[in-house]
Amino acid sequence: MSRTYDLVHRTTYTYAQPVTDSYGRTTLTPRDVPGQACLATTLDIDPAPADTAAHVDYFGNRTTYFGVTEPHTRLVVTSRSTIEVSRAAEPEPDRLPTMPWEEVAESVRDGVATVDEHALVRLREALLPSPHVSRTPAVRDFAAPTLTPGRPIGEVLVDLAHRIRTELAYRSGSTTVHTTQDQLLAQRAGVCQDFAHLMIAALRLHGLPARYSSGYIETRPPAGREKLRGADASHAWVSAWAPGAGWVEIDPTNDQLVDDRYVLLGWGRDYHDVPPLRGVIFTEGRGAHPSVQVDLVPSGSDPFL
Q: Domain 93-259 class?
A: alpha beta
Per-residue pLDDT tens over the stretch 66-103: 999 999 999 999 999 999 999 998 899 999 999 999 99
| Topology match between the domains 3-86+274-298 and 93-259 | no
By C-alpha distance, which of 204, 209, 73, 31 is closest to 133?
Answer: 204
pLDDT band at residue 302 under the 50/70/90 scheme: low
pLDDT band at residue 252 under the 50/70/90 scheme: very high
Q: 130 near 272, Cβ under 8 Å?
A: yes
Sequence-separated (6 or more) residues with CB below 8 Å from residue 242: 96, 97, 99, 104, 153, 154, 157, 248
Does the domain spanning 3-86+274-298 belong to CATH 2.60.40.2250? yes
- Please, how many CA atoms are within 13 Å of residue 89, restricted to the half-sphere of its CB? 7
Please give the average per-residue pLDDT across 214-233, as a whole number: 80
Pick from 14-28, 178-192, 240-254, 281-295: least confident? 281-295
pTM of the model: 0.94
Q: 40 near 71, Cβ under 8 Å?
A: no
Please give the average per-residue pLDDT across 235-252, as a whole number: 96
Q: 116 near 43, Cβ under 8 Å?
A: no
Spacing of C-alpha 146 from chain mean position: 23
Sequence-separated (6 or more) residues with CB below 8 Å from residue 70: 47, 50
Q: 69 near 48, Cβ under 8 Å?
A: no
Per-residue pLDDT tens over the stretch 24-38: 999 999 999 999 999
> For position 300, what pLDDT does the model report?
80
Please give the average per-residue pLDDT across 119-134, as a whole number: 93
Sequence-separated (6 or more) residues with CB below 8 Å from residue 253: 164, 165, 170, 191, 192, 195, 196, 228, 229, 230, 235, 236, 237
Domain ranges of the chain: 3-86+274-298, 93-259
Percent of the chain with pLDDT over 90: 82
